Amino acid sequence: MAPRRTAPHTQDRPLSLIEQARRDQLIQITIDLVSEYGYAATSLTRIAQTAGITKGAVLYHFASKDAVVAAAHERVLGLLVADVEAAIAAVPADRAPAAYVRRMVGHLAERPGHTRMLVGAITNGDVPDPSVRWKPLAALLQEARRARGLGPGPDPRTLAIIVGGAIDGIIGEHMRDPGYDAPAAAEALITMLETTLFA
């Protein structure tokens, strides 16, 4: 009996270009399927059928459905974080909270499939620590006040949670009604934030 080939996800070797291309394809298919059908209806069978390969071929690249969904979530989250970080890096510290809000709303409104993937992860309980969402913004808020020579001000955690909830609300409304002006809503949120933050 021939030895069973070990899948790349269990090996400590670099992936070939073909393996990496297949993994990228499976990740993109998973993002599209979760966006269209939701987490529960995105099965390994559906991923395989969409890719035109067998379920076993999917399992060659990923250990389970959870593994391919986690890779898809990581890809979407990584793109969001990189986009927002670039926007923040391009402005002075006292303007970082406004850049954060604009880019978060812009990125999520421009990529509804990615937004559904991120919402699905939260709904599915795949974001174990809620502070991952509010801590970076809380730090930006504190730094913005320091950059303007202001003292501690309002509780940054509470303010970050409120701003995060407002962004979620704006994006939720935009997803429900694509005609809703998400950029204008982001500007209104920035005005409220700056009034509270720098008062």
Tens-place pLDDT, residues 30-76: 999 998 888 888 999 999 999 999 999 999 999 999 899 989 999 99
User: Three-state SS for 92?
Assistant: coil
Nearest to 23 by CA among 68, 65, 86: 68
Q: Where are the domains of the chain?
A: 15-67, 72-197
pLDDT band at 110 (very low <50, low <70, confident <90, very high): very high
Quote the mean pLDDT of the chain: 89
Tokens of residue 7, six digits: 């899948």
CATH number of 15-67: 1.10.10.60
The pair phi, psi for residue 84, each rounded to 5°, is -70, -40
**Sole residue written with tokens 């500007």:** 187
Q: What is the pTM of this model?
A: 0.85
- Output the furthest CA–CA distance in the chain (Å, rounded): 75
What's the pLDDT score for residue 14? 83
Who contacts 78 (Cβ-Cβ below 8 Å, separation ≥6)? none
Amino acid at 33: L
Residue 2 — very low, low, confident or very high, per pLDDT cuts 50/70/90? very low
Q: Which CATH number fits domain 72-197: 2.20.28, 3.30.379, 1.10.357, 1.10.3470?
A: 1.10.357
Domain 15-67 matches domain 72-197 at the CATH topology level: no
